[in-house]
Amino acid sequence: MPVLRLAMAQMNAVVGGFAQNVETLTRFRTQAASLGADLVLTPELSLLGYPAEDLLLREGFILASEVALAQIALAQDLPPILVGTVVSEGLNGLNLAPSSDGRDVTRAIETHGPAHIADALVALSDEGVVAVATKRLLPNYDVFDELRYFHPGVGQHTIINVEGVAIGLLICEDVWTANGPALELANEGATLIVVANASPFARGRREDREAMLRERALETNCPIAYVNLVGGQDELVFDGQSVVVNESGDVIARASAFNEELLVVEIDAKASSAGIVVDSTYSRDSSRRQAPLANLVIEPPSEIEEIYEALVMGTRDYLRKNGFRSAILGLSGGVDSSLVATIAVDAVGARAVRGFAMPSRYSSDHSIADAQELARRLDIEITTLPIELAHQAFGTMLLHALDGEPEGLTDENLQSRIRGVILMAVSNATGAIVLTTGNKSEMATGYSTLYGDSAGGFAVIKDVPKTLVYELCRYRNAVALELGDPEPIPSAVLTKPPSAELRPGQRDDQSLPPYEELDPLLQLYVEGDATAEDMIASGHDPDLVLRIARLVDSSEYKRRQMPPGVRISKKAFGRDRRMPITNAFRSE
């Protein structure tokens, strides 16, 4: 039985960053050569970045992707590589020989006109393009909108033959369907299936993937290699955790989570003559083969660790890929801002994070002290800017407009907006991005101030319910203790009742149910798409259910104006849950 040495490039692609992506692909391909790999597998759309969204509708973007592919084809004396990219109908059959400089691609597009593209996996050797496999099944649910951009693959099941192993090529969704493309490849003679993926992180997603791969392996009687993208892209985070299962569905190799790396694995596969033979001078050079490798199986992280690392990576990549060198945020001494500050420090380092304490006449001494203690433990700069003078000035200015001083909710929101103005002014002056600190429970119920605590460029914990905020804080403190470091988040932050401190004696539970009651209802209504009737029928208090449903439904206009934030659930506000703002339907 032949043994294929496969290099799986778990890479962090940059959307539209063709030069960076070519460099990354070449670096991994060179590393694979040094390890004697027979073939390099890259993630879905690794050359373009994922998701490219409406960039895919621009002919110039498609042209740039073809030119970048031609650059990869120039490489010599490197193992064959499977590159995730797009192909257009106008370019079918175009041979990108190693001498190509992209001008053939330009002429082809000029000749054939606008490109109708397919999501593709292109096999390249030192002889040029060997084969092109296109994605057949296009997801159009959750965060996916692929029918907008791609036409389905033509149904040609591409098999390549490397070192006597018939390798079937699939892309992401194609492997998720029982009795689908994977089984058809096996029936056509494939003895190993490789899958290029851009599968975003969500709670429980790794378990879903590996359960599905076990089913496909048993169905096809083939080992399956599944390479996944890693990195942050706007709201989405890709966790990597590329994996290989044998024909019995057992995991024989697994890459780490939230790290860019090359996973090299040896796979036993049945010999077969099926498929297009990948003829390469590199693959005939047996001297490159080193001693047998022990396949690496990284133990997957716990769910809470996965979530925390997703938030860190999403924040880091949003700043890095968008050119922000530093971040600022308001530090209230509360649990939300404490968690966001800690994540930011883990993402970009203490020197790149600055906090602002902006106490009002209602701020408690212990909250100010907690904010200062957090900053000390995180080793970040903190600046205290009391807002009392601005609060008084706005009150005086509004006397005529309001026929008196601001009161109640008007006065509460005014304080929040003053703080937002301060942070955005500092952002303008320094170029630092403002990180907002609102959580999913607040976003769901509208318990936030437009142009106040929602003002900023990135909402780190936008998809994190309040109860999970506490869990993440305790997790991060536990990690610090294990490392022998001080706990970053003071215990007082975790034990005091949550409060916005915008009026005397204010507590969150005066406006909302206790979060231990609220969050399960929000999970059912927002993430589970349960109706109010469903929730009441399952035993929840009718008045509370109807109140929460009304809060969620009436707050859509606020959510639409919130900055992007890291998605960690299977249904986040924004990309997943798309509700009309003007909406007369009420589930009551």
The SS3 call for residue 245 is: strand
pLDDT value, residue 99 = 41
CATH top class, domain 3-300? alpha beta
pLDDT value, residue 106 = 45
In sequence order, what DSSP letters do the residues of 516-546 get, joined into one string? HHHHHHHIIIIIS---HHHHHHTT--HHHHH
Residue 226 · residue 242 · CB < 8 Å:
yes
Segments of the chain with pLDDT less than 70: 89-115, 154-157, 283-291, 500-502, 587-588
**CA proximity to 183, closest of 234, 142, 224:** 224
Express each pLDDT in 61-72 by its tens digit: 999 999 999 999
Express each pLDDT in 204-259 by its tens digit: 999 999 999 999 999 999 999 999 999 999 999 999 999 999 999 999 999 999 99
CA distance 158 to 494: 56
pLDDT value, residue 585 = 81
The SS3 call for residue 162 is: strand
Distance of CA 337 to the CA centre of its chain: 22
Q: Which residues are catalytic?
A: 44, 135, 172
- Domain spans of the chain? 3-300, 305-509
pLDDT value, residue 114 = 44
CA distance 509 to 494: 16
The SS3 call for residue 467 is: helix
The SS3 call for residue 565 is: strand
User: What angle (nearest 5°) sits at the alpha carbon of residue 20, between those of residues 19 and 24?
Assistant: 120
**In CATH, which superfamily holds the domain spanning 305-509?**
HUPs (3.40.50.620)
